[in-house]
A and B are shown apart, each in its own frame.
Chain A
Amino acid sequence: MMPSAQETGARAAEWLEQRERGPWGEDEQAALDAWLAQSFAHRTAYWRVSEAWNEAERLRVLERSAIDKDRVTAVPRPLLIGIAAAVAVIAVSGLAASYFFLRPAERTYTTDVGGRELITFADGTQIELNTDTVLRTRMTTGQRIVWLDKGEAFFRVKHDAAHPFNVIAGAHRITDLGTEFLVRRDPGRLEVALVEGSAQFGAGEGQRQSVPLLLAPGDDVVATAQSMSVTKKASHDLANKMGWRRGVLVFKHTALSAAATEFNRYNREQIVVSDAATANLTISGTFPANDLRPFTEVVQSVFRLRVGRSGGEIVLSRQ
């Protein structure tokens, strides 16, 4: 005898709400997956409640289009009158209604220098933005497109064969086939590292189409205007590339100049390496991305460098 539909429905709502509230990590997802795997009753109940909750997203459209700006106290009464009015207005014209519903929900997300942000979408897809990043999304029932205009982001995409997930970064496009990957866009250079699953790497909007490259886990693509390379990275190398998700930078025999460049992405205070000999010293270790002190103390004591501060700069030079 299966549990009553009301019990199952209530349990499904509990799961959905727990996910809505967060934090939602791998353990939580695994627990939910296990529950879902138990029966179709669980799965359909969860799909049903999630779909309704997503559907309620349309309330937001109403709010933007029809409810007055100065709803400072946000009590339900005037809002509901606003919604009722909007419903009345929209119901007058089918055209208007389709306009509101079909208008793509496009949003822009940005992080400041040193910032980091995790965005979770209704379909379960997560995007984690690294420092100094600009990302635009268009998530509708028909398509999922993200533009990485600047910076770096880690994607954990909920695969949906009917709605492929596309990341467009300058001249390139990454199309997921169910996957986790990292995209980093620097001036004149794009890097894509595939952690899990598979993805296609191809030409972006308005570019001459070429045969897309099929990426496998560990593949690290670096594309510039002139060249493109694919190398296979060990999983710990990939994990190091994603240290920022834990708030750290991981260096392995990294030239001091390259390390400085990395730190400078995360901090307003900029590290300057004064001469070539200093720039070529290599360093290994894990450092907090947003705090320069541990790094400067290490280079000072290990390499016996001089650390000078002036006008927002930290200058590393020989003694």
Chain B
Amino acid sequence: MSTSALQDWFVREVLPLEAALMQFLRRSSRNRSEADDLRQEVYVRICEAAQNEIPVPARPFVFTVARNLLIDRARREQIVSIEAVADLGALEIVADEPEPDRSVIARQQLRRLQSALDRLPGRCRQAVILRKIDGLSYREIATRMGIAEDTVSKHLREGMYVLADALHSEISETSGGS
């Protein structure tokens, strides 16, 4: 399995599941950053497995890995929360949800993009818009906003980070289904 094929599979098949995965992981986590760490570990595990053979379909595989991770953690910590147990039972239902069709995904993505933009702090949002919509260079953005190019960098880094969470992790109003 080449890295680019793995990347392609990850982006196409796994990332779209992230919102549902996070919903699942958050219920078993004490806080946001713990859920993020669990997600990171799920991704590492599925890539290690997928290196040898791409699992088809992706969805049940991803959730099985997530469940096993939670079970491992519960064993390690000797604590199993009631919610976690309940979720492990409910897993099959989550995993069997049909995939929405492409145009629905596209519309959801657009709404997510909009709400993701709204979540960016003002200056950061402005820098992202000047870069992504107006296609300006760093120098032009710096001039337009009256800031240094290094500050443009800082805003865009933050924008990239927040957009990644907002686009992949967040449940949009229409896609949650609950």
Contact = CB atoms under 8 A, between A and B. Distances in A.
Contacts of B11: 47, 51
A40 B43 contact: yes
A263 B172 CA distance: 58
Contact of B125 (A9, A53, A76): A76
Given A4-B37, A21-B138, A55-B167, A47 B10 contact: yes
B5 interface: yes
A282 B89 CA distance: 82
Interface stretch (B60-68, B73-81, B91-99, B102-110): B102-110
Interface stretch (A80-88, A144-152, A305-313): A80-88
Contact of A59 (B4, B132, B164): B132
Nearest to A79: B129
Interface size class on chain B is 35 or more
B126 A76 contact: yes
Given A40-B47, A84-B114, A56 B37 contact: no
A212 B175 CA distance: 46
Contacts of A48: 15, 18, 164, 168
A45 B47 CA distance: 12
A161 B3 CA distance: 11
B163 A56 contact: yes
Interface in A122-161: 158-161
A315 interface: no
Contacts of B111: 87, 91
A60 B133 contact: yes
B126 A75 contact: yes
Contacts of B149: 21
Given A47-B7, A74-B134, A98-B106, A39 B44 contact: yes
B20 interface: no
Interface string A1-40: 0101110111001101110110000000000000000011
A122 to B, nearest CB: 11
Secondary structure class of chain A's binding surface, majority of residues = helix
B47 A43 contact: yes
Contacts of A90: 107, 110
A272 to B, nearest CB: 39
B172 to A, nearest CB: 11
A296 B100 CA distance: 67
B87 interface: no
A41 interface: yes
A269 B119 CA distance: 55
B interface, by DSSP: helix, strand, loop or mixed? Answer: helix
Contacts of B70: none
A41 B132 contact: no
A49 interface: yes
A101 B47 contact: no
A74 B157 CA distance: 21
Among A52, A58, A67, A159, the one with the most B-chain Cβ atoms within 10 Å of its Cβ is A52
B125 to A, nearest CB: 6
Contacts of B117: 59, 80, 83
Interface in B144-170: 144, 149, 153, 156-158, 160-161, 163-168
B160 to A, nearest CB: 4
A45 B18 CA distance: 12
B114 A13 contact: no
A206 interface: no
B129 A59 contact: yes
Contact of B7 (A43, A49, A83, A97): A43
B129 A76 contact: yes
A230 to B, nearest CB: 28
A291 interface: no
Interface string B37-59: 10111011001100000000000
A58 B37 contact: no
Interface of A: 2, 4-6, 8-10, 13-14, 16-18, 20-21, 39-41, 43-45, 47-49, 51-53, 55-60, 62-63, 67, 74-76, 79-80, 83-84, 87, 90-91, 94, 97-98, 101, 158-162
29 contacts: A4-B36, A4-B40, A5-B36, A6-B36, A17-B160, A41-B43, A43-B47, A49-B160, A49-B161, A51-B15, A52-B164, A52-B167, A52-B168, A53-B164, A56-B128, A56-B132, A59-B129, A60-B132, A60-B135, A62-B133, A67-B133, A83-B114, A87-B114, A97-B107, A97-B110, A98-B102, A101-B106, A161-B4, A162-B5
